[in-house]
Structure 1
Amino acid sequence: MNNLIGLSKGQSALIDNDPWELAEEQQHRKESGNPGHWILPLADWLEHCQQTDTCRGSQTQIGVLLDPEDDPEILAEWIDQIPLIALQFHTFRDGRAYSQAFLLRARMGFKGDLRAVGEVLRDQLVHMRHCGFTSFAVRKDKSAADALKGLTGFDMIYSRSVTTPEPLFRRRGGAK
């Protein structure tokens, strides 16, 4: 996947050689002999898992793509074995993937790579990080290097989040 930013140990950086590919990208690269790791849409991922049982264990190379209307709870049975979950932003105005990300991290305990794909823009990155995203596939017509600056700007939030579970008044020594 190109135009990618990743977080590691709280630091953000451009990712050059990411092995993950969305299923439709993978179809175009079959001839190359190196398809990389697949990210399958939920229905295809479920079918693949049921047919091959390759979605269990720590060595799986299959990630799942959730559309905004998909229920993340469907993944509960496999949540500890999934290496990557990509959440689709069809438009920057649709915030359902933020809710999915928070649910996956805070309630379901997902520990793998949580990737934002689709209409991912610079101004969204800080909020995405606070919801639990760890990688961002910036829209192809935008610069990932420029978008990277979006993670270094204003980062103080008042409410709790995945990255800062205490609200600001508690972080400043207020009432508990």
Structure 2
Amino acid sequence: MPRLIRNGAIVEDHGPEVLDLEQWLESTERSSRAVVLEPGESLASLLAHIDEIPMVLVNFPTFMDGRGFSYARELRERGYKGEIRAVGHFLRDQLTYLSRCGFNAFEFDDESELEEALPSLADFSEAYQASVDRPQPLFRRRAK
């Protein structure tokens, strides 16, 4: 069984069947299938079904492609509560930023990286900017 990082722990993957966006939209059993988003795909058609999606996988074809960060942020801001999983080519150094945008699961190509990557979720103890995980910027949080 493949392993990944989910909600801050290394776990075995028992995820649902994964379809690409077009297949998922055409499916009659959406609530039991996950959808994978590729860079450049529009979220508009997916947002109409946000309550039917058990899991969204966001593919990073290269670690320099930042569109996946925006997908996660928009999904969370629109109320998506399910799992958002980063897959593909992302770096362990990006885990903090990915989680701040709304990702809560990380599937590495090489599972041997999981143990070393897990502490990267806590690389930074504080953030100045507002984000999905902390909507108030630091100066607002300190003013209380």
- TM-score exceeds 0.5: yes
Determine which structure has greater relative contact order: mean sequence separation of CA pairs < 8 Å that are 6+ residues apart, divided by chain length.
Answer: 2
Write out aligned runs for 1:5-20 (5 A): 5-7=5-7, 12-16=8-12, 18-20=13-15
Q: Which AA in structure 2 matches 1:4? A: L
CA displacement at 1:69 relative to structure 2: 0.7
Write out aligned runs for 1:146-165 (5 A): 146-165=116-135
Does the Cα contact within 8 Å between 1:3 and 1:140 map onto a contact in 2?
no
SS at match of 2:6: strand
Q: Which AA in structure 2 matches 1:111? A: K
Unaligned ranges ≥5, structure 1: 21-36
CA displacement at 1:142 relative to structure 2: 5.1
CA displacement at 1:15 relative to structure 2: 0.9
Residues 107-154 of structure 1 show CA distances to partners (whole Å, capped at 9, x for unaligned) of x21111011010132101000000000101123275111110101221
Cα distance change of structure 1 residues 112 and 66 upon mapping to structure 2, 3 Å threshold: same
Q: Distance in 2 between matches of 1:45 and 1:104?
A: 16
Unaligned ranges ≥5, structure 2: none
Corresponding residue to 1:99 among 51, 66, 70 = 70
**Corresponding position of 1:90:** 61
Identity %: 40
Paired positions, count: 144
Q: Distance in 2 between matches of 1:165 and 1:134?
A: 17
Residues 27-47 of structure 1 show CA distances to partners (whole Å, capped at 9, x for unaligned) of xxxxxxxxxx21111111122
SS at match of 1:170: helix
Say if 2:43 is the partner of 1:72: yes
**Corresponding position of 1:111:** 81
Does the Cα contact within 8 Å between 1:89 and 1:97 map onto a contact in 2?
yes
Structure 1 residue ranges, 4+ long, deviating more than 6 angstroms after superposition? none
Bigger-Rg structure (1/2): 1
Cα distance change of structure 1 residues 15 and 141 upon mapping to structure 2, 3 Å threshold: closer
Say if 2:109 is the partner of 1:139: yes
**CA RMSD across the alignment:** 1.5
Does the Cα contact within 8 Å between 2:20 and 2:35 map onto a contact in 1?
yes
SS at match of 2:132: coil
CA displacement at 1:166 relative to structure 2: 0.1
Cα distance change of structure 1 residues 144 and 81 upon mapping to structure 2, 3 Å threshold: same
